[in-house]
Amino acid sequence: MRGPNSNLRRDVPEASLRRLPIYYRSLQEMLLSGVAQVSCADLARILGLDPTQVRKDIEMTGIVGKPRVGYPLGDLVRWIENFLGWNRPKTAVLAGAGSLGSALLGYEKFRSHGMLIIAAFDIDPDKIGQRIHGREVQPLMFLPDFVRQAHTLVGVIATSAAAAQSVTDLMVSAGIRAIWNFAPAHIQVPERVILQNEDLYHSLASLSFKLESKMGVTPTGNGISYAEDN
Amino acid sequence: MRGPNSNLRRDVPEASLRRLPIYYRSLQEMLLSGVAQVSCADLARILGLDPTQVRKDIEMTGIVGKPRVGYPLGDLVRWIENFLGWNRPKTAVLAGAGSLGSALLGYEKFRSHGMLIIAAFDIDPDKIGQRIHGREVQPLMFLPDFVRQAHTLVGVIATSAAAAQSVTDLMVSAGIRAIWNFAPAHIQVPERVILQNEDLYHSLASLSFKLESKMGVTPTGNGISYAEDN
DNA sequence: CTCATATCGAGAAAGTTTTATCGAGAAAGT
DNA sequence: ACTTTCTCGATAAAACTTTCTCGATATGAG
Ligand SMILES: NC(=O)c1ccc[n+]([C@@H]2O[C@H](COP(=O)([O-])OP(=O)(O)OC[C@H]3O[C@@H](n4cnc5c(N)ncnc54)[C@H](O)[C@@H]3O)[C@@H](O)[C@H]2O)c1
Ligand SMILES: NC(=O)c1ccc[n+]([C@@H]2O[C@H](COP(=O)([O-])OP(=O)(O)OC[C@H]3O[C@@H](n4cnc5c(N)ncnc54)[C@H](O)[C@@H]3O)[C@@H](O)[C@H]2O)c1
């Protein structure tokens, strides 16, 4: 009942999902350098993480290791791929062929991680008809039919923030089941749709705060004194 | 000893740092629509979060609210800005003027969040000399002198993954104290340097996994059966 | 062959984050 | 003026994540 393949995909901590790609990348580099076996302790040493944490994360994929040896490297890489779904290609459509959208369209590595952006849509007449990395930008109004015909499940939002919600709604009504949102907007989706926000401001806030903390800047220097004048 | 301005910047959960920008954005939108007062409960309703969590996050900025009223909206926005350091401009340099680097250079909103990318560097002779969004791409070897003269503390990595570590080392040796890394590489920095990784694969893994979980795909379909052949 | 050592896997403990509860105080209605 | 209602701020409880501990087992040395 609890064999290596009876992985239930339940209760996977978000934190583990964030670490698995890091392991995956390191493991692939090792693969190139000809390593055959790897232990959690090895990985932990390389990445500066806790060995137990690495083991717990890897256990989630369902792979079973051998004491004193670890895991066959090739197998481990495939188990992670399989667990994350990176070995099962998914098509995606992109809305918003601006600077960011173009960069995403040209990003070949998505393909090797199971994500194929097969079409781009925009509303700007100057953009429509342009070819960007081999795909012709289409009018946004063609998106629903395209999605239905290609059975596409993933939609990438790279429009302005103002347009994000309406484009999302259009995608969802066409059958999209997961939204990857790069616009800095709080968008709403039905329960059944996955929403993944890629918010640069998260990072920017964290970076800015930590840098100032480390450099000794206090956040008291701009004359705000709300509590005094109540 | 515990007044609104004696904010110690200690023990701030990473999760809170990630949520504050979301509040900030919503609050700014409210500001535009003329709202004057806002309560944590309001924010929580709008964003679909727990009111207590919102209150805890906002408390961290040091602002003091009034029962039954909440916070003056303008003040709250400024307290968050001040807490995150977004009202204190920081200069940054960018390495790697490719598709992503160009998009980042052209992204005006960084400026209003305290982050000014003032120069771009590359090693590709074809890139060097090009003007991208008003900044001329310079040879990477000029970076250290530039950083020292401009007293720049932040470095943005948008090079290939293979170059990320060496470019980081160059930046760090020139005095950079925070690295914002967009390359999918595990880079190492000294203790004193902040490292913020912007890893698309985190999101991709999460999206892919959740989509498949929701759509009922089991990760057992690719014939891996490592445990059998031991 | 036996022993020492390293690692897995599982469960317990510790730490952190999120959610619930409660008293106090400010505003609005009676 | 009094009561009701809502929200802040603080504390407590619950849930989750990370770290620690331990027994089992495979490998390599003696
Ligand atoms: N450029 C960056 O580095 C960067 C970084 C992080 C986030 N972002 C965000 O990504 C989004 C795109 O950024 P960008 O720099 O590419 O901007 P951009 O202005 O270059 O591109 C936006 C594109 O979206 C299109 N668009 C607008 N409304 C649309 C609609 N309703 N349907 C379809 N297309 C529509 C526009 O025509 C344009 O082509 C923005 O929300 C931005 O905040 C950008
Ligand atoms: N394009 C995307 O959508 C995207 C998304 C996420 C992450 N990334 C990552 O961002 C990085 C850049 O991506 P890109 O699509 O812009 O690639 P790109 O090839 O267009 O640009 C890379 C640039 O870096 C320069 N470069 C290489 N080595 C350098 C060095 N040692 N010093 C200075 N510059 C150097 C190259 O000359 C080139 O101009 C990559 O690591 C990529 O994996 C890209």
Q: Name the band, by pLDDT with cuts 50, 70 and 90, for residue A216.
A: confident
* pLDDT at residue B223, as a whole number: 40
B69 touches chain A (CB under 8 A): no
Mutate to test the pocket of ligand 1, among A93, A94, A99, A100 (most ligand atoms within 8 A of CB): A100
Percent of chain B at pLDDT exceeding 90? 88
Nearest ligand 2 atom, CA B101: 16
Instruction: Answer yes or no: is pLDDT of A229 > 50.
Output: no
Indicate the class that CATH gives domain B6-84. Answer: mainly alpha
* pLDDT at residue A9, as a whole number: 61
Mutate to test the pocket of ligand 1, among A104, A122, A128, A202 (most ligand atoms within 8 A of CB): A122
Instruction: Answer yes or no: is pLDDT of A226 > 80.
Output: no
Mean pLDDT across chain B, nearest whole number? Answer: 91
Q: Which of A107, A204, A217, A222 to mutate to test the interface with B (most CBs of B within 10 A)?
A: A204
* pLDDT at residue B147, as a whole number: 98
* Minimal CA separation from B141 to chain A, in Å: 25
B45 touches chain A (CB under 8 A): no
Instruction: Answer yes or no: is pLDDT of A51 > 50.
Output: yes
Average pLDDT (B78-95) is 97
Percent of chain A at pLDDT exceeding 70? 90
Average pLDDT (A131-154) is 98
Q: Name the band, by pLDDT with cuts 50, 70 and 90, for residue B11.
A: confident
* pLDDT at residue A230, as a whole number: 29
Task: Please judge whether A83 and B115 are an interchain contact, meaning their C-beta atoms are less than 8 angstroms apart.
Answer: no
* Minimal CA separation from A150 to chain B, in Å: 17
Instruction: Answer yes or no: is pLDDT of B119 > 60.
Output: yes
Which residues of chain A are within 8 Å of residue B82 when distances are taken between CB atoms? 219, 222, 224
Whether A148 contacts A131, CB under 8 Å:
no
* pLDDT at residue B107, as a whole number: 96
Is residue A13 within 6 Å of ligand 1 at its C-beta?
no
Position with higher pLDDT, B139 vs A221: B139
Sign of CA dihedral A183, A184, A190, A196: positive
Task: Please judge whether A194 and B207 are an interchain contact, meaning their C-beta atoms are less than 8 angstroms apart.
Answer: yes
Superfamily of segment(s) A90-198 = NAD(P)-binding Rossmann-like Domain (3.40.50.720)
DSSP-derived secondary structure for chain A: ---TT-----S--HHHHHHHHHHHHHHHHHHHTT--EE-HHHHHHHHT--HHHHHHHHHHTT---BTTTBEEHHHHHHHHHHHHTTTS-EEEEEE--SHHHHHHHT-GGGGGGTEEEEEEEES-TTTTT-EETTEEEEEGGGHHHHHHHHT--EEEE-S-HHHHHHHHHHHHHHT--EEEE-SSS-----TTSEEEE--HHHHHHHHHHHHHHHHT--TTTT---GGGG-
Instruction: Count A/B contacts: CB-CB distance under 8 Å.
Output: 232
* pLDDT at residue A219, as a whole number: 62
Average pLDDT (A104-108) is 96
Instruction: Answer yes or no: is pLDDT of A180 > 80.
Output: yes
Candidate from B4, B206, B218 with C-beta closest to A17: B206
Q: Please give residues of chain A from 28 to 57 whose alpha-adjacent beta carbon (CB) lies under 7 Å from any atom of strand D.
A: 49-50, 52-53, 56
Task: Please judge whether A186 and B25 are an interchain contact, meaning their C-beta atoms are less than 8 angstroms apart.
Answer: yes
Tell me the C-alpha distance between A159 and A120, whole Å.
Answer: 11
Q: Name the band, by pLDDT with cuts 50, 70 and 90, for residue A58.
A: very high
Least confident segment among A198-202, B6-10, B93-97: B6-10
Residue B134 has phi, psi (to 5 degrees) of 85, -5
Tell me the C-alpha distance between A120 and A156, whole Å.
Answer: 9
Average pLDDT (A170-186) is 98
Task: Please judge whether A198 and B199 are an interchain contact, meaning their C-beta atoms are less than 8 angstroms apart.
Answer: no
Average pLDDT (B213-224) is 66
Intra-chain end-to-end CA distance of chain A, in Å: 64
Q: Name the band, by pLDDT with cuts 50, 70 and 90, for residue A46.
A: very high
Which residues of chain A are within 8 Å of residue B157 when distances are taken between CB atoms? none
Average pLDDT (B18-40) is 95
The residue extents of the domains of chain A are: 6-84, 90-198, 206-230
Residue-wise pLDDT tens digits, B186-198: 999 999 999 999 9
Average pLDDT (A15-35) is 95
If phi > 0 it is left, if psi is from -120 to 50 it is alpha, else beta; for residue A37 that is beta
* pLDDT at residue A11, as a whole number: 81
Tell me the C-alpha distance between B96 and B198, whole Å.
Answer: 15
User: CA separation (Å) from B211 to A85, A166, A192, B215?
Assistant: 9, 22, 10, 6
A202 alpha carbon, closest ligand: 1
Mean pLDDT across chain A, nearest whole number? Answer: 91
B205 touches chain A (CB under 8 A): yes
Task: Please judge whether A219 and B14 are an interchain contact, meaning their C-beta atoms are less than 8 angstroms apart.
Answer: no
Which residues of chain A are within 8 Å of residue B23 when distances are taken between CB atoms? none
Whether B193 contacts B178, CB under 8 Å:
yes
Residue-wise pLDDT tens digits, B145-193: 999 999 999 999 999 999 999 999 999 999 999 999 999 999 999 999 9
Least confident segment among A85-89, A100-104, B214-218: B214-218
Instruction: Answer yes or no: is pLDDT of B86 > 50.
Output: yes
Is residue B140 within 6 Å of ligand 2 at its C-beta?
yes
Q: Give the nucleotide nearest to A66 (CA→C1').
A: C8
* pLDDT at residue A42, as a whole number: 95
Q: Name the band, by pLDDT with cuts 50, 70 and 90, for residue B225.
A: very low
